[in-house]
Amino acid sequence: MPTQNNVLLVSTDHWPAALLGVAGHPAIQTPTLDELARSGIRFTNAYAECPVCIPARRTLMTGVTPRTHDDRVFKDKLPMPQLPTMAQTFRDAGYQAYAVGKLHVYPQRDRIGFDDVILDEEGRVQYGVLDDYELFLGDRGYAGRQFHHGMSNNEYSTRPWHLPEETHATNWATDQMARTIKRRDPNRPAFWYISYRHPHPPLVPLQTYLDLYRDIPIDEPYHGTWSTDPNNLPFSLQANWARGAKFTAHQIIAARRAFYALCTHIDHQLRILIGTLREEGLLNDTIICFTSDHGDMLGIHNMWAKRLFYEYSANIPMILVGAVGDKRVGYNRVDDRLVGWADVMPTLLDLAGIDMPETVEGLSMVGDQKRDWFYGEVGEDDHATRMIHDGRYKLIYYPVGNCCQLFDLESDPHELTDLSNSAEHTDTLARLTDLLISQLYGGDEAWVENGKLIGLSDKNFTPGPNRGLSSQRGNHWPPPPQTDMPQIQWFSEGKP
């Protein structure tokens, strides 16, 4: 039997940190994650360095920031950097390493150090690969039908899943990981990575989970005083505001209900993995980490999706459960240190007793060293956004329009009041602005003159057409042409 602890890393896509029962959410049902949080540590100040899928996953798998791995946009055809990956580092230490679900790398069959990857790429056939989930559906007699529900991967229309329950991507990923655990080499420890595609749209939960929320009041999105008039917003926020302006109040609640249903479905499926580990005699010797690449605004401040540094987009769940008896993790703990996805790799290696590659920039979340502030960045076009967070105050910067926002998350956790023009907070604004300026690179320096932020000229956003329905998929049998296709995006969503 292995003498080292196993590691199970669970990631989701679009899950805000607030959507946990243990975090006090009034509606979400997450009994499994709530128990895991009580069995370990929940980090309340966990943030995405870049709240969009590909850059975040490059950070997760290398332990470095976007500055180092060279993507703060969504470079969908950029190969992984020549850095030691988390999977390869575990393998070099004698571990078997397997991944199931969404890897989101290019080329798609790049295993990035894993022994094997059972792949779900959300139907991105244009890059030349039919993934394993598509093959599974074909084997079950549903070839090419995963998108017959008609919902888009990047919008918030919703309906129930249209095929049998066992074919849902969440069930499929769980089944594949449970079988992978059972097929392990018993003579070596294992690093298992399961990457669920949901609650990322399409919003197609099982009817069972929609029914679960039938009698639970769905909370309505809240709005800051600064967010009610789009004419007073910077260009980038005008664009996001316009996305949700077409939704009725009923559609907003329906989208949130479907989103919660997808979350609870994942939560319940995690019980199967916990049960598998327990029945295989592995649970006490397995380190578990649950997290997400970023969140989703879900109508908060009239905003949707990610690419923003408000809490529902950038603040991510981070739950860590140690092996039995590991006092570095303990149980029933809440830690408010600033952490990010660059910290996952060094934390898991630290808990497993494996030396960290010198290239890693993150910090172990169970170590004594803590950061004083956290820098976030996304985009290099007119929608670019930057953030500095010092554990209490958060500065968000939009270069187009040279707009700063300042929030006191201690007294205003919902970011309802922008303090950037508050005389009482002049020193805080200046301090965080200087920190932000110190982190600018790669052309961002043009936003500064004589040590002051000057940004770029303001402009107004005018919505364009959305003929592609935010990257709508179609019938995948026969398979679509496996070549790059023109992508019609909705204000540069970056999700082909």
Which helix (H) or strand (E) segment is 58 a member of?
helix 53-62
Q: How far apart are the first and last CA of the chain?
A: 44
Integer Cα distance of 109 and 131 in angstroms: 9
Average pLDDT, the chain: 95
Whether the CB-CB separation of 345 and 50 falls below 8 Å is answered with no
Q: Tell me the CB-side half-sphere exposure of residue 36, using CA atoms within 13 A.
A: 30
Integer Cα distance of 55 and 81 in angstroms: 11
Omega before residue 478 within 30° of 0, cis: yes
Whether the CB-CB separation of 187 and 2 falls below 8 Å is answered with yes
pLDDT tens string 36-50: 999 999 999 999 999
Which stretches within 280-331 are classed as H helix?
A: 311-314
Q: Given this model, what pLDDT does residue 481 score? A: 81
User: With 80 as the cut, is the pLDDT of residue 298 above it?
Assistant: yes
Integer Cα distance of 438 and 99 in angstroms: 37
How many other C-beta atoms are found inside a 10 Å radius of the C-beta of residue 223? 15
Strand intervals (E) in 29-178: 41-47, 96-101, 116-119
Confidence of residue 484 (pLDDT cuts 50, 70, 90): low
Integer Cα distance of 273 and 266 in angstroms: 11
Q: Given this model, what pLDDT does residue 125 score? A: 87
In this structure, what token pair is assigned to residue 295? 């969140």
Whether the CB-CB separation of 11 and 195 falls below 8 Å is answered with yes
Task: Give residue limits of the domains in the chain.
Answer: 6-372
Integer Cα distance of 81 and 145 in angstroms: 35
Q: Look up tokens 């664009």; give the residue.
A: 239
Q: Given this model, what pLDDT does residue 494 score? A: 38
Q: Given this model, what pLDDT does residue 415 score? A: 98
Integer Cα distance of 333 and 10 in angstroms: 19
Instruction: Give the distance, in angstroms, between the CA of residue 358 and the centroid of all CA atoms in the same chain.
Output: 26
Q: Given this model, what pLDDT does residue 483 score? A: 62
Beta-strand relationship, 190-199 and 116-119: unpaired
Q: Span 6-372: which CATH code?
A: 3.40.720.10
How many other C-beta atoms are found inside a 10 Å radius of the C-beta of residue 455? 20
Q: What is the mean pLDDT of residues 53-57?
A: 96
Q: Look up tokens 């296709």; give the residue.
A: 485
The full length of the chain comes to: 496
Whether the CB-CB separation of 387 and 379 falls below 8 Å is answered with no
Residue 427 burial by Cβ neighbours in a 10 Å radius (0-12, 13-18, 19+): exposed
Question: What is the identity of the amino acid at 480?
Answer: P
Question: What is the identity of the amino acid at 373?
Answer: W
Q: Given this model, what pLDDT does residue 495 score? A: 40
Which of 122-126, 277-281, 294-298 is least confident?
Answer: 122-126
Coil/strand/helix, residue 337:
strand
User: With 90 as the cut, is the pLDDT of residue 27 above it?
Assistant: yes
Q: Look up tokens 């919008």; give the residue.
A: 155
pLDDT tens string 365-423: 999 999 999 999 999 999 999 999 999 999 999 999 999 999 999 999 999 999 999 99
Integer Cα distance of 392 and 54 in angstroms: 28
Integer Cα distance of 167 and 138 in angstroms: 11
pLDDT tens string 64-75: 999 999 999 999
Q: Given this model, what pLDDT does residue 42 score? A: 98
pLDDT tens string 323-379: 999 999 999 999 999 999 999 999 999 999 999 999 999 999 999 999 999 999 999
In this structure, what token pair is assigned to residue 231? 């004419």
User: With 50 as the cut, is the pLDDT of residue 184 above it?
Assistant: yes
The Cα-based distances of 145 to 162, 201, 473 in angstroms read 9, 17, 10
Q: Which residues have C-beta within 8 Å of that of residue 179, sequence separation ≥ 6?
A: none
Where is pLDDT greater, at 480 or 394? 394
The Cα-based distances of 161 to 131, 149, 167, 203 in angstroms read 20, 7, 9, 9
